[in-house]
């Protein structure tokens, strides 16, 4: 096709923009347009034209540079929702080093579900090799919710300290009960300084990968070192059992003087299951909450991605996670929970309270309770002690029950760590004829009502996830009330005068409030608040030379698979 005959029309440009904003690659975009036109000969342009069009558009959008586009993006978010929070840190040359942001829905999510937080710094993004860190957690459907995001210049104690302080500022100084991170000493030091009361857990995935990397010589030749190490990490319920198994591990593999083993043991409270039983974790043990979340961010980790493309892709990923929650919400409202034991009062009660995902987990505990037995019992007038075992299962659990207050505790600490009662507690409830779960053992964050409540932003104002939607909802409520009121009073002159006079009074009060807000200037200025160093505008991004780390840390299994593929390619070449 001659260059003079090629042209992208206005409609075609709009279609290309839609495909690009949806995350389609240029090749896929061109194939889609060709299919719509019947054949690529009918489309009127080539793939090169698509590439040039998108490149020119990006250049026009970046006319103000990265900093101008970044501030423009933040300003637009603030205008759409005043609860949007962002902050950046600058060096002495007024170059941006670190950036943090959290939209209104992230602030809402943290207000409802910010008890346990994961901080994942797995990826780097953009041409400056800045680590992208995500604060995330579980919602009431055990789905992924994001509480904030940051682009860091480096991973030093100073950067992490600024990050944690800014994160708390965004969320009104509300600290999580527990936070999971990787095995980064700078991060641990900053966390200790900023969130001393918050319990710190280590990502077991990163811990295992580091162990494989530094102790790989112990895993050769059919060694069971990794299996025994995992047993210490996951399978032991008491500290005594852990110490015995750990000493056996050290002796069997002769690693008494290994510094790596010593350093891992020194922080055992942050990763061993017997110590993690003392921490509220919601069942979280890793920062790798979702492989799908990690894979979704891969396409925006290309060094050639500019700041505008990055934020577009970031918003798409976040929106997808929020849509997943809406799907679960719909299923929870329109589908009845399937009770395995239809006459059980406890199951009937919890099916109405818990979300369907959490109810399934509770029902699994109920099923295990049916296989539980009381091995020992020591009952007094009020306090009862039981030893619970399970059919075809080794081990036992101690349960204490106070009949006067219906208080119960179990040595497995399922409720204290996860937030739902264990099968052992249910067994004791059944033994003592307790047919309804006490309210104190129903945690709101797992219920259908988890999102009921008010969350305030840094300005002290109520956070609205979608101001337009909230405005529409308020409009409908008022219209319904006024239409009904007008229908009731229109037939009586006396009633009509009362309503008419009161409406005039309300209109006068609203007008006075508007004039007051306009005179003080607070009505519009709230939207323009952001946090920076010294109130100065930045001159640019600080770029870090040298080290590149734009790939996700690969696991041992992935590394072994890659090595096998390389060996197969080499052997194939030799044969040829």
Give the mean pLDDT of 174-199: 93
Residues 6+ apart with CB under 8 A from 437: 346, 349, 350, 421, 429
Domain coordinates in residue numbering, the chain: 3-61, 204-280, 356-446, 477-520
Instruction: Give pTM, 2 decimals.
Output: 0.78
Amino acid 504: pLDDT? 87
**pLDDT greater than 90 at residue 554:** no
Section 71-96 average pLDDT? 88
pLDDT score recorded for residue 390: 92
For residue range 369-409, what is the model confidence (pLDDT) as tens digits?
Answer: 999 999 999 988 889 999 999 998 888 999 999 999 999 99
Residue 151: in which H helix or E strand, if any?
strand 144-151
Residue-wise pLDDT for 17-29, tens only, equals: 788 777 777 788 8
DSSP output for 353-415: HB-HHHHHHHHHHHHHHTTEEEEEEEE-SSEEEEEEEETTEEEEEEEEEETTTTEEEETT-HH
| Residue 481 clears pLDDT 70, i.e. is over it | yes
- How crowded is the C-beta side of 575, counted as CA atoms within 13 Å? 6
| Dihedral angle sign, alpha carbons of residues 451, 454, 458, 461 | positive
pLDDT at 223: 81
Q: Tell me the per-residue pLDDT of 413-432, one tens digit each, with 9 for 90 and over.
A: 999 999 999 999 999 999 99
Percent of the chain surpassing pLDDT 90: 37
Residue 568 reports pLDDT greater than 70:
no
User: pLDDT digit string (tens) for 288-334?
Assistant: 775 566 666 766 666 667 788 788 888 888 888 888 888 888 888 88
Residue-wise pLDDT tens digits, 331-364: 888 888 888 888 899 999 999 999 999 999 999 9
Q: Which residue has the tokens 């389609």?
A: 24
User: Token match 């999510």: residue?
Assistant: 109
Residue 486 or 127, more confident = 486
- Cα-Cα-Cα-Cα torsion 111, 114, 120, 123, nearest 10 degrees, comes to -20
What DSSP designation does 142 have? S
pLDDT band per the 50, 70, 90 thresholds, residue 471: low
Strands across the sheet containing 372-379: 372-379, 383-390, 393-402, 407-410
* The pLDDT value given to residue 479: 78
Choice between 87 and 293, residue whose per-residue pLDDT is larger:
87
How many Cα neighbours within 13 Å face the side chain of 21? 8
Share of the chain above pLDDT 70, in %: 83
pLDDT tens, residue by residue, 514-553: 888 777 654 444 444 445 555 567 777 777 665 444 444 4
Q: Is 113 a residue whose pLDDT tops 50? A: yes
| Tokens 């991004």, residue located | 541
pLDDT higher than threshold 70 for residue 117? yes
């Amino acid at each position: 096709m001659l260059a003079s005959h090629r042209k992208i029309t206005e409609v075609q440009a709009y279609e290309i923009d839609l495909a690009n904003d949806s995350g389609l690659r240029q090749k896929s975009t061109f194939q889609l347009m060709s299919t719509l036109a019947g054949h690529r000969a009918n489309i009127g342009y080539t793939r090169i034209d698509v590439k040039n069009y998108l490149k020119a558009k990006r250049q026009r959008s970046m006319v103000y540079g990265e900093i101008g586009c970044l501030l423009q993006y933040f300003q637009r978010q603030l205008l759409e929702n005043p609860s949007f929070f962002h902050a950046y840190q600058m060096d002495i040359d007024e170059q941006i080093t670190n950036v943090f942001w959290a939209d209104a829905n992230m602030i809402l999510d943290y207000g409802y579900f910010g008890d346990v937080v994961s901080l994942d710094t797995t990826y780097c993004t953009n041409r400056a090799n800045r680590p992208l860190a995500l604060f995330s957690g579980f919602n009431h459907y055990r789905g992924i919710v994001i509480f904030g995001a940051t682009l860091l210049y480096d991973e030093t104690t100073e950067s992490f300290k600024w990050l944690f302080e800014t994160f708390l500022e965004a969320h009104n100084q509300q600290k999580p009960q527990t936070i999971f991170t990787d095995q980064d000493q700078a991060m641990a030091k900053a966390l200790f300084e900023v969130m001393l009361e918050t319990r710190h857990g280590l990502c077991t995935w990163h811990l295992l990968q580091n162990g494989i990397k530094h102790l790989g010589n112990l895993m050769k030749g059919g060694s069971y070192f990794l299996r025994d190490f995992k047993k210490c990490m996951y399978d032991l319920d008491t500290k005594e059992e852990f110490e015995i198994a750990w000493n056996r591990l050290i002796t069997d593999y002769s690693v008494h003087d290994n510094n790596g083993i010593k350093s891992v043991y020194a922080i055992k409270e942050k990763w061993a299951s017997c110590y993690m039983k003392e921490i509220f974790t919601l069942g979280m043990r890793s920062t790798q909450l979702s492989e799908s979340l990690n894979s979704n961010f891969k396409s925006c980790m290309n060094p050639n991605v500019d700041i505008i493309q990055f934020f577009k892709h970031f918003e798409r990923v976040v929106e997808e996670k929020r849509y997943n929650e809406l799907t679960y919400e719909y299923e929870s409202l329109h589908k009845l929970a399937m009770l395995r034991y239809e006459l059980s009062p406890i199951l009937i009660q919890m099916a109405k309270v818990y979300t369907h995902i959490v109810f399934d987990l509770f029902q699994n505990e109920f099923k295990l309770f049916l296989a539980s037995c009381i091995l020992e019992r020591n009952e007094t007038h009020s306090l009862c002690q039981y030893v619970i075992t399970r059919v075809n299962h080794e081990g036992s659990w101690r349960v204490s029950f106070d009949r006067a207050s219906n208080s119960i505790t179990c040595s497995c600490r399922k409720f204290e760590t996860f937030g739902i009662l264990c099968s052992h507690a249910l067994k004791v409830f059944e033994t003592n004829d307790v047919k309804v779960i006490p309210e104190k053992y129903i945690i709101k964050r797992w219920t259908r009502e988890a999102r009921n409540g008010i969350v305030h932003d840094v300005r002290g104002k109520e956070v609205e996830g979608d101001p337009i939607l909230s405005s529409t909802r308020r409009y409908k409520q008022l219209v319904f009330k006024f239409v009904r009121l007008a229908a009731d009073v229109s037939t009586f002159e006396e009633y009509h005068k009362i309503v008419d006079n009161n409406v005039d009074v309300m209109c006068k009060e609203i007008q006075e409030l508007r004039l007051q807000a306009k005179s003080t200037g607070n009505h519009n200025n709230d939207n323009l608040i952001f946090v920076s160093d010294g109130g100065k505008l930045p001159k640019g991004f600080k770029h870090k030379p040298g080290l590149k780390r734009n790939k996700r840390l690969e696991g041992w299994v992935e590394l072994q698979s890659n090595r096998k593929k390389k060996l197969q390619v080499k052997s194939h070449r030799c044969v040829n």
